[in-house]
Amino acid sequence: MDLADRASRMSAQRRRWTAAAPIAVVPFGPVARRQLRLAARVLGRVFRAPTIITAEQPLPSSALSTRGQYDADLLLELLHRQLPERCLRVVGVTEADLYVVGRTFVFGYAHLTDGMAVYSTARLCEGFYGRPVDPSLLARRVLRTLAHEIGHTFGVPHCEGEACLMRSVSFVDTLDALPVRFCPGCRPRVEHGLGVAPWSARGRWERGMAWLRRRDFVRAALSFEHAVRSSPLESAYHHSLGVARLGLGDELGARQALARASELGGGRPAPTPAHDSTDAA
């Protein structure tokens, strides 16, 4: 079964899915054009998302380990700072090998809450293991890796379901064995996330929360202000704006926003600004 057939099987389970905005693909270092076209094809067929391929970004020397691998966590931070304003998600692709602290390597890595993912084709190539090059197998592995990591960006953690694309992956053999569909438990979360436009109230709030976790209170407050203007009766948006204004030292503005949140229903606590969640494959 080729890439088109596998992607079609995934598309059959989500005929109503339509991405609210494009997904940006960012090449880190030199990446073959055929790999960028493959990424766009997967995103279009699996998530019905148009793709914006950005200019190549250099691999930062600060992310390079003594083993010759790049820290995927640091690459995610670079992606966050350049996420196009009107893109639903951003995914980095590189031909360099990746790792994260605590793992000797990863095929890909993603933020569960901030809309960012990165993957590497290095260990997806049969040549890495000293075996004959197999373009078809490489394409199938890219399909699984990319769809899996984008699934994480919609807040979907690893799944224990035997028939789910979000099962945990440790080695290339377990990657090859991944089903090519989301299970009934994970699928609704992906479907919901695809429908949240970045310029909507919810989308602005989610971006604000990402800035808040990084203690960038200026950008967080701006995002929350957009959310409040778009949806003035949502208590959580006022509450988050109050937290951001408190971080800016605007005590009066913070009290006003928190009071409004209380009037509307109490709001809900924002996650700790320094906290973030990630998942790897």
Read off the pLDDT of each residue in 167-177 and give the average, rounded to a whole number: 94
Residue 266 has pLDDT above 80, yes or no: no
Residue 141 is predicted with a pLDDT of 97
Please, which pLDDT band fits residue 6 given cuts at 50, 70 and 90?
A: low
Residue 276 is predicted with a pLDDT of 44
At residue 133, the 3 state secondary structure works out as coil
The residue ranges of every structural domain in the chain are: 3-194, 201-264
pLDDT digit string, tens, across residues 89-98:
999 999 999 9
Report the chain's mean pLDDT, rounded to a whole number. 90
Q: Record the pTM.
A: 0.86
Largest Cα–Cα separation, the chain:
66
Assigned CATH class of 3-194: alpha beta
CATH architecture entry for 201-264:
Alpha Horseshoe (1.25)
pLDDT digit string, tens, across residues 195-232:
999 999 999 999 999 999 999 999 999 999 999 999 99
Q: Determine which one of 56, 85, 126, 149 is catalytic.
A: 149
149 as an active site residue: the answer is: yes
CB atoms within 10 A of CB 56: 13
- Please compute, for residue 78, the number of CA atoms within 13 A of its CA located in the half-sphere on the CB side: 21
Two structure tokens written together for 214: 């990084």
Which ranges constitute the DSSP H helices of the chain? 3-12, 33-47, 72-81, 135-153, 172-176, 187-194, 201-213, 217-230, 235-247, 251-264
Q: CATH topology of 3-194 equal to that of 201-264?
A: no
